[in-house]
Amino acid sequence: MLELQNYFRNMRKELIIGAGVGIPLVILMIFIGGDGHSSFDFAESESTTGDSKEIELETSRKNLQSSLNCSGSAQCFEGTVTKIIDGDTIIVDDQSVRFALSSAPELKMFEGVDSREFIETICPVGSKVLVDEDDGQILGSYGRMVGVITCNGVNLNSELLDANLGYLQDRFCDSSEFGKESWAQKHGCSNSVSELENSNKNPEPIKDDCDTSYPDFCIPSSPPDLDCKDIGQKKFTVLQPDPHRFDSDKDGIGCES
């Protein structure tokens, strides 16, 4: 009888020890998973997969741009014209697109309707177009994408200007990626850039202490008091009060003799 009691007592201890080891082991196996990977391994794997997908999408987008003959790195897509808003804005697949660099008059203004009808003629609703977003204006304009639209083989931005039904927005020539393209240069972007460069290379001389009574050229204010022989100029405009008294007869002309 005593031996039987000892047997059951030893068996109870073994069961308790086994339960103490087994339960945590089961929990650990659940955490690790049947294939030996922890949840952290899965999270890292998912992150790596997500990065790979982003890289693939970016590569696909660049390949699409290249195949569609777009410039820059902004959006580029083909679509169908669903509506002509006015002479410089159309709807392509529910996306409002405004012409880069080219503007048309508002519909209520002179030639506003003419410009819209012109775009409707060369690119009617239902036409397939290529939209190349302007890298320099990716923020858009009043909710519209800004870009160059090619429809039926023609550049609508350029055609609007060629038809004299729009005007160049030259203030965007330097920021637009299309500012140096031939059509933009032809319609004024080259003048805008060259004028800016020339003004930087040849700044106007600063006129110090030039008296406003002599607008034709710079004559310093008095003192010292100057005579006609001191300035080497004849028959120039004189406004009152004429501090040097070049216009003695007050007819508005200085140093006449």
Separation of alpha carbons 147 and 164, rounded Å: 20
**Exposed (0-12), middle (13-18) or buried (19+): which is 20, by Cβ within 10 Å?**
exposed
Best-predicted range by mean pLDDT among 6-15, 92-101, 190-199, 247-256?
Answer: 92-101
Give tens-digit pLDDT for 102-121.
Answer: 999 999 999 999 999 999 99
Q: Which pLDDT score, from 0 to 100, does residue 11 have? A: 60
Backbone angles phi, psi at 225, to 5 degrees: -75, 125
Separation of alpha carbons 219 and 244, rounded Å: 10
Give tens-digit pLDDT for 53-82.
Answer: 665 555 555 554 556 778 888 999 999 999
Q: Which pLDDT score, from 0 to 100, does residue 174 have? A: 95
Question: What's the pTM?
Answer: 0.53
